[in-house]
């Protein structure tokens, strides 16, 4: 039996009803941005905006039947043992639909509120994904439900936020991971200050600041993915997973392992340059990082160093400074704290009172596509410590509301187990 | 509200038929045992860990602002260094209960611990952590050095002591006792670890009494050299950090002899190992061996067999010897010369004092977080077991120590600033305050460590939970950089000297915070009510009253002994009881003033109110514990009973803020320990399998 449920703007009540999830075929709603299939005890969620590279949209996170409620409903539905999350088309998920957010703000006479709500909902979704099926509300779950994300394509920004925090992430030869926010005048959010900072050495700073792209093999090597499976094997993997009919992480891991490979990391990969990365990206400030890279470049003619430098020089100076500090603070904090800090940052950025690089970046990269953003301030040294402090300080504004994360138990051990320091 | 819900749910569980519940748990146990691989902690219904962040009420004040208030300075530098340590394999990261913790492996042998300590130093050096520690100028670079050293202390005290020996004692001696020629030759080389320095002052026969050391340095005009010699076994240099394995150079403290005349203690530079690490001729070195703590520090013993060093190796900022053997010093009085010499050693005492506060913070954060998640015994028929910290007795054990740690944290900050501002006029104040604070804060830390160890029960026994190990690592703080008892005697002596000087010249007191002696004696109300007990006025009054009275008593007792024909020195020795009480009174009063000042500088009402509670707790618990208040009649027994009651009330009021208060310490999770977090997961079977 196979049921496709298309979700749009329906009532929360219905989706939560167990029968709805289980057997009654529903087809309603104006949108079908997330498809849900049911196979025995498995639910397969497919992000379904292939033309927008499955970008996380307003409807996905905003309305009463959002992805958040869908996930929570599955969590409460004790017949569901496993959720598989994947994307339709060549992307898993290319991130939050920031173009829409920015269009909203710039066109609707600087109305930043919908944007703030968008980020708020998105971060809550990240938190739900990360804390999925840990003890919630102090009740004792009789049945646990696991999550497997299949990253067969582009995984960027918000796409990483809905997958990386979870228990299992399967990369393929088509995976393409990046946190490109500094080029957009934003910073790696969706909990990236948590997961980037837990990559080996200072690789997280490198990935987060330069927006470097990683393939599936690199994702596996650095700990962003737990498994690597060739895309041709994915349908077999899905079959095996739902036939396994289990929520035991050991069984699920073993099932995926049957199909997985240990691919070689390509020779030119940045992952082979951890020594230089650790040396340079451990510096205290962006200026020192650039100086250290330039010093390395002076010693040898190296294409990787020059392209790394180029990425840093192209990025918004303000974004670089905010991003570095956010990752460094994130390394010492839990995911909840990271999301709270990131929400404060994104809120200040949306208000655009300190600078407007985010709007300029989106204009140049996503809307006008002239790829020539005019950052303001344009130079690193013009971004003072004081300016950076303002982004991180407590917001005194009557409109401000703290991110109200659902009160769930701690982030489970397994959520960070795979992101531990590699030896 | 959150907590009520929490309790309610436990009651619901408990209201299930008890027998069925028990059977269910037992069958789970059995099942788990049979299918061990499928067991997951979250499926176990017996005890689920709930993080205190979830179970406790939301914070009533901004913990970031509080952290800034307590750390005081260089927040970005601190976090950067925390990052550097967490991300390196050298700092021994371990996954426990889903979190990474960094801590030295104390299961390593003494030699392994020393080796890895040196590797960590190399890593920190490579990443520029020590940049400017000796070549930097101005208060900013000194404050930065303090901040980074504090972060290193939070990781491992042995690492910090190694670095402290090299930079603060060896490097400090070059800076303060040396002149330009020494600075040019050694400071930059030291900062970059081209050489390894140590500080050879203490001998087997003489420690605190530095003036009694027996090593000699004799000048020979015909060769232009000093000859350094260890004349007897009691003159062997002892406990010299760095000497056993890796130091290449030493500052050697010796009695300077010129033409048969002893000019007192002077400091000399001697090379003790060559660049390959071989011990130099005319030097013998032995290991001090395994210790009760700080085994990452290679303490050694050194004998000098008529070692010849050039005349230029005398550190000559206070006194010099001309090539033809003339002794030259701007300070003629040998007592003053010695004082000028010793004043510069205060930086060691300052860092020891502050590090004691950070050790106290680490152990309190662990013990209090544990007490917020660990339950024991139920006090109602079917009720849930109580959280440890919900027992008033457990609150009384930990929360007063928390309050004292806050006050002492502000005292540490004050001391750092006082040291930074150092000038000739401040030498005496720095000496007295740093002595008093060093003794008080290090004793406080040792007491905290013991209490926290016990408060964590059996878990406190585990090395991975840090507190027990810290007891050994920090124990020596009561001895090095001046024995605590000796320091406190010096404080009382200095106060007496101040007293005598003021009385003799009939002039008002104007130093060491004794200005209150110029006013009329404060009067304590006959009946103390809660609001009085919590007022700054009362708290100040009673601490000043105690200090004033004890100083008068000390002076009277000493002069009484002298009238009976005892020498001044012998009179001091005989008056030790009052001297001890007085030292404590001075220290407690000075710390209170630091806390009051910190509180006054805060604007946010939420911070002010919690700081007020902590200050009251600090004062009242001292009054409760120190018998001097009753012995000398500063308090009636009725009032002492009122104080005792108020302490209990304060415990209840601070209890809801306990989590916020330890979160404000700003110590990253990775530097605490598994029992501070999900200790159920950290100890689950699955962690053994994997």
Q: Does A384 touch chain B (CB under 8 A)?
A: no
What is the distance between the alpha carbons of residues B219 and A201, in angstroms, rounded to a whole number?
54
Q: Are strands A42-47 and A34-39 parallel, antiparallel or unpaired?
A: antiparallel
pLDDT for A118: 84
> Quick count: other Cβ atoms within 10 Å of Cβ B7?
13
Contacts B669 to A, Cβ<8 Å:
332-334
The whole-angstrom separation of Cα A157 and Cα A175 is: 14
Element (H, E) at B567: none
A282: closest chain B residue by CA? B84
Q: What letter does residue B442 receive in the DSSP assignment?
A: H
For residue A82, how many other CB atoms are within 10 A of its CB? 26
Do residues B630 and B637 touch, judged by C-beta distance below 8 A?
yes
The chain A residue lying nearest B75, using CA atoms, is: A329
The closest CB to that of B40, out of A138, A144, A408, belongs to: A144
- Contact (CB<8Å) A248/B40: yes
Do β-strands B261-271 and B249-258 pair in parallel, antiparallel, or remain unpaired? Answer: antiparallel
Predicted confidence pLDDT, tens digits, chain A (423 residues): 333 333 333 333 333 333 333 322 233 344 578 888 888 888 888 888 888 888 887 777 655 456 667 777 776 677 788 889 999 999 999 888 887 888 777 776 667 778 888 888 888 888 877 776 544 333 444 456 788 999 999 999 999 998 998 889 999 999 999 999 999 999 999 999 999 999 999 999 999 999 999 999 999 999 999 999 999 999 999 999 999 998 888 889 999 999 999 999 999 999 999 999 999 999 999 999 999 999 999 988 889 999 999 999 999 999 999 999 999 999 998 888 899 999 999 999 988 889 899 999 999 998 899 999 999 999 999 999 999 999 999 888 888 888 887 766 545 544 444 443 332
Q: What does pLDDT average to over chain B?
A: 92
CB distance B357 to B445 below 8 Å: yes
**Cβ pair B83:A282 closer than 8 A:** yes
Nearest Cα residue in chain B from A406: B54
Taking an 8 Å cut-off on Cβ atoms, the answer to whether B50 and A331 are in contact is no
Structure tokens at A423: 């030896």
d(CA B390, CA A82): 40
Tally: H helices and E strands in chain A: 20, 11
Predicted ipTM of the assembly: 0.85
Per residue in B267-276, pLDDT tens? 999 999 999 9
Which residue, among B55, B681, B43, B3, has the nearest Cα to A408 in the 3D structure? Answer: B55
Using one digit for the tens of pLDDT, what is the confidence trace for B196-241?
Answer: 999 999 999 999 899 999 999 999 999 999 999 999 999 999 999 9
User: Could you give the CA distance from residue A166 to residue B125 in angstroms, rounded to a whole number?
Assistant: 37
- Per residue in A76-130, pLDDT (tens digit) is 677 788 889 999 999 999 888 887 888 777 776 667 778 888 888 888 888 877 7
pLDDT at B162 over 60: yes
Is B681 within 8 Å of chain A by CB?
A: yes
The H or E element spanning position B228 is strand B225-229
Of A56-60, A79-83, B358-362, B451-455, the one with minimum mean pLDDT is A56-60
Give the residue from A314, A361, A354, A395 showing the smallest Cα distance to A106: A361
Could you give the C-alpha distances from A206 to A200, A266, B182, in angstroms and in order? 11, 18, 42
CA dist B94 and B464 (Å) reads: 10
Closest CA to B624 of B638, B644, B642: B644
DSSP-assigned beta bridge partners for residue A38: A43
What residues in B contact A329, CB-CB < 8 Å? 79
CB-based contact A274:A201 (threshold 8 Å): yes
CA–CA gap between residue A158 and residue B537 (Å, rounded): 57
DSSP-based helix, strand, coil % in chain B, nearest 5: 60, 10, 30
Q: Is residue A267 flagged as an active site residue?
A: no
Residue B359's pLDDT is 98
* Tokens 């891991």 belong to residue: A253
Q: Which of A385, A409, A421 sits opposite B100 (nearest CB)?
A: A421
Question: Residues B494, B499, B502, B503: what is their CA dihedral angle, to the nearest 10 degrees?
Answer: -150
Task: Give the contacts of A129 (CB within 8 A, at least 6 positions apart).
Answer: A71, A147, A161, A162, A163, A165, A166
Choose the closest CB to B89 out of A202, A414, A423.
A423
User: Given a cut of 60, is residue B104 above it in pLDDT?
Assistant: yes
The catalytic position among A96, A161, A166, A185 is: A96
Burial of B66-102, coded b for 16+ CB within 10 Å and e otherwise, reads bbebbbbbbebbbbbbbbbbbbbebbbbebbbbbbbb
Q: Write out the two tokens for A103.
A: 């269009």
Average pLDDT over residues B564-583: 97
Which pLDDT score, from 0 to 100, does residue B264 have?
A: 93
Q: What percent of chain B has pLDDT over 90?
A: 84
Report which DSSP code applies to B459.
G
Give the SS3 label for residue B440.
helix
- Given the structure tokens 């030259």, which residue do they identify? B328
- Dihedral, CA atoms, B556, B561, B565, B566, nearest 10 degrees? -120
Position B153 pLDDT exceeds 90: yes
Please give the Cα distance from B369 to B672 (Å, whole number). Answer: 10
pLDDT at B31: 43
> Could A141 and B43 be called an inter-chain contact, meaning their C-beta atoms sit closer than 8 Å?
yes
Q: Which residues of B are annotated as a binding site for FAD?
A: 202, 241
CB B661 within 8 A of CB B610: yes
Catalytic residue from among B191, B214, B225, B481: B481
Beta carbons of A284 and B38 less than 8 Å apart: no
> B512 φ, ψ to 5°?
60, 20
Looking at beta carbons, which residues of chain B come within 8 Å of A145?
A: none
Please give the DSSP secondary-structure letter assigned to residue A420: S
- pLDDT, one tens digit per residue, over B245-273 is 999 999 999 999 999 999 999 999 999 99
Q: What does each C-alpha distance from B620 to A342, B310, B445, B455 come to in angstroms?
A: 42, 59, 19, 22
User: Is A181 assigned a catalytic role?
Assistant: yes
**Alpha-helical regions (H) of B286-377:** 334-343, 346-371
Please check whether residue A81 touches B, CB under 8 A.
no
Preferred mutation among B68, B83, B669 to probe A, highest tally of A CBs within 10 A? B83
Question: B60 vs chain A: nearest CA distance in angstroms?
Answer: 15
- In the stretch 46-75 of chain B, residues with CB closer than 8 A to chain A read 48-51, 53-54, 62, 64-65
Query: Nearest residue on chain A to B40, judged by CA atoms?
Result: A248
Neighboring chain A residues of B59 at a CB cutoff of 8 Å: none
Look at residue B689 in the predicted model and tell me its pLDDT. Answer: 55
Sign of CA dihedral A135, A137, A139, A142: negative
pLDDT of amino acid A276:
95
B611-656 confidence digits (pLDDT tens): 999 999 999 999 999 999 999 999 999 999 999 999 999 999 999 9
Question: Is any Cβ of chain A less than 8 angstroms from the Cβ of B122?
Answer: no
**Integer-rounded Cα radius of gyration of chain B:** 28
Q: Look at residue A101 in the predicted model and tell me its pLDDT.
A: 80
Is the torsion defined by CA of B66, B69, B71, B74 positive or negative?
positive
Q: Are B348 and B481 in contact (CB under 8 A)?
A: yes
Strands (E), A78-213: 82-87, 91-93, 146-151, 154-156, 168-171, 176-178
Q: Contact B50/A283, CB-based, under 8 Å?
A: no
Identify the closest residue of chain B to A392 by CA–CA distance: B64
pTM for this model (two decimals): 0.90
């Amino acid at each position: 039996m196979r049921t496709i449920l298309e979700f749009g703007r329906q009532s929360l009540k219905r989706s939560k009803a167990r029968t709805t999830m289980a057997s009654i075929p529903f087809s309603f709603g104006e949108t079908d941005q997330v498809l849900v299939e049911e196979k025995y005890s498995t639910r397969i969620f497919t992000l379904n905006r292939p033309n927008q590279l499955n970008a996380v949209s307003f409807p996905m996170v905003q309305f009463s039947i959002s992805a958040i409620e869908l996930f929570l409903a599955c969590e409460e539905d004790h017949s569901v043992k496993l959720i598989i999350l994947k994307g339709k088309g060549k992307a898993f998920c290319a991130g939050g639909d920031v173009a829409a957010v920015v269009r909203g703000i710039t066109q609707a006479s600087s109305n930043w509120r919908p944007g703030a709500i968008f980020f708020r909902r998105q971060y809550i979704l990240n938190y739900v994904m990360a804390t999925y099926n840990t003890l919630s509300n102090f009740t004792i779950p009789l049945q646990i439900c696991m999550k497997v994300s299949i990253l067969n394509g582009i995984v960027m920004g918000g796409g990483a936020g809905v997958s990386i925090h979870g228990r299992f992430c399967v990369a393929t030869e088509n995976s393409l991971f990046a946190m490109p926010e500094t080029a957009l005048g934003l910073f790696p959010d969706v909990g990236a200050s948590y997961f980037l900072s837990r990559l080996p050495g200072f690789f997280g700073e490198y990935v987060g600041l330069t927006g470097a792209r990683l393939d599936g093999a690199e994702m596996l090597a650095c700990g962003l993915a737990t498994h690597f499976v060739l895309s041709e094997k994915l349908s077999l993997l899905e079959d095996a997973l739902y036939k396994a009919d289990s929520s035991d992480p050991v069984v699920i891991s073993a099932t995926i392992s049957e199909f997985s490979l240990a691919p070689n990391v390509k020779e030119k990969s940045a992952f082979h340059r951890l020594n230089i990365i650790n040396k340079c990206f451990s510096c205290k400030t962006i200026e020192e990082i650039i100086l250290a890279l330039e010093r390395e470049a002076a010693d040898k003619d190296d294409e990787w160093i020059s392209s790394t430098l180029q990425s840093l020089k192209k990025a918004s100076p303000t974004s670089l400074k905010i991003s570095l500090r956010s990752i460094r603070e994130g390394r010492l904090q839990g995911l909840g704290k990271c999301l709270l800090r990131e929400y404060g940052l994104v809120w200040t950025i949306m208000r655009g009172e300190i600078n407007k690089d985010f709007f300029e970046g989106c204009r140049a990269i996503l809307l006008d596509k002239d790829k020539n953003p005019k950052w303001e301030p344009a130079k690193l040294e013009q971004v003072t410590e004081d300016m950076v402090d303002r982004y991180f300080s407590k917001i005194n504004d009557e409109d401000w509301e703290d991110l109200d994360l659902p009160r769930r138990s701690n982030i489970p051990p397994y959520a960070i187990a795979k992101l531990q320091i590699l030896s | 509200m959150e907590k009520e819900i929490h309790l309610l749910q436990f009651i619901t569980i408990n209201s299930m038929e008890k027998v069925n519940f028990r059977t269910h748990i037992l069958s789970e146990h059995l099942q788990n045992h049979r299918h061990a691989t499928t067991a997951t902690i979250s499926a176990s219904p017996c005890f689920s860990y709930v993080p205190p962040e979830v179970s406790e009420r939301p914070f009533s004040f901004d913990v970031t602002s509080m952290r800034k208030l307590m750390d005081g300075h260089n927040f970005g530098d601190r976090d950067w260094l925390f990052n550097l340590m967490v991300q390196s394999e050298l700092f021994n990261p371990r996954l426990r209960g889903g979190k990474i913790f960094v801590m030295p492996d104390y299961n390593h042998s003494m030699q392994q611990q020393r080796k890895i300590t040196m590797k960590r130093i190399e890593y920190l050096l490579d990443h520029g952590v020590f940049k400017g520690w000796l070549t930097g100028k101005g208060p900013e670079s000194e404050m930065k050095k303090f901040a980074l050293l504090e972060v290193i202390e939070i990781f491992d005290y042995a690492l910090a002591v190694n670095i402290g020996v090299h930079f603060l004692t060896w490097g400090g001696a070059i800076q303060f006792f040396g002149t330009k020629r020494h600075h040019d030759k050694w400071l930059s080389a030291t900062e970059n670890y081209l050489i390894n320095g140590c500080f050879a002052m203490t001998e087997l026969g003489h420690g605190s009494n530095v003036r009694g050391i027996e090593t000699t340095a004799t000048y020979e005009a015909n060769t232009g050299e000093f000859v350094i010699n260890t004349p007897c076994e009691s003159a062997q240099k002892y406990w010299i950090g760095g000497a056993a394995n890796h130091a290449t150079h030493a500052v050697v403290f010796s009695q300077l002899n010129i033409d048969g005349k002893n000019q007192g203690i002077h400091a000399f530079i001697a090379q003790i190992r060559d660049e390959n690490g071989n011990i130099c001729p005319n030097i013998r070195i032995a290991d001090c061996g395994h210790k009760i703590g700080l085994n990452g520090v290679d303490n050694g013993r050194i004998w000098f067999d008529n070692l010849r060093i050039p005349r230029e190796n005398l550190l000559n900022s206070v006194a010099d010897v001309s090539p033809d053997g003339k002794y030259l010093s701007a300070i003629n009085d040998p007592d003053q010369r010695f004082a000028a010499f010793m004043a510069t050693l205060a930086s060691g005492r300052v860092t020891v004092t502050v590090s004691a506060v950070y050790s106290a913070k680490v152990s309190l954060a662990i013990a209090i977080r544990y007490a917020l998640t660990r339950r024991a015994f139920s006090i109602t028929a079917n009720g849930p077991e109580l959280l440890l910290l919900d027992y008033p007795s457990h609150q009384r054990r930990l929360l007063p120590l928390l309050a004292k740690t806050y006050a002492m944290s502000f005292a540490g900050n004050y001391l750092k600033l006082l040291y930074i501002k150092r000038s000739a006029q401040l030498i005496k104040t720095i000496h007295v305050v740093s002595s008093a604070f060093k003794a008080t804060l290090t004793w406080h830390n040792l007491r905290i460590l013991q209490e926290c160890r016990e408060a964590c029960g059996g878990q406190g026994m585990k090395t991975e939970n840090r507190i027990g190990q810290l007891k050994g690592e920090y124990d020596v703080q009561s001895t090095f950089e001046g024995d605590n008892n000796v320091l406190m005697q010096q404080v009382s002596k200095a106060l007496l000297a101040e007293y005598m000087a003021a009385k003799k010249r009939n002039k008002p007191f104007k130093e060491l915070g004794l200005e209150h002696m110029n006013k009329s004696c404060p009067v304590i109300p006959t009946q103390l009510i809660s609001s009085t007990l919590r007022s700054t006025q009362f708290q100040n009054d009673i601490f000043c009253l105690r200090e004033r009275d004890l100083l008068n008593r000390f002076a009277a007792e000493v002069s009484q002994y002298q009238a009976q024909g005892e020498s001044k020195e012998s009179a001091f020795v005989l008056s030790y009881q009052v001297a001890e009480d007085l030292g404590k009174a001075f220290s407690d009063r000075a710390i209170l003033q630091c806390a009051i000042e910190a509180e006054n500088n805060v604007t946010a009402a939420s911070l002010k109110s919690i700081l007020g509670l902590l200050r009251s707790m600090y004062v009242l618990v001292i009054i409760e514990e120190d018998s001097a208040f009753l012995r000398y009649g500063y308090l009636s027994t009725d009032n002492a009973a009122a104080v005792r009651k108020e302490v209990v009330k304060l415990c209840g009021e601070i209890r809801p803020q306990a989590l916020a208060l330890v979160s404000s310490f700003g110590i990253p999770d990775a530097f605490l320990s598994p029992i501070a977090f999900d200790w159920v997961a950290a100890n689950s079977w699955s962690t053994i399998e994997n």
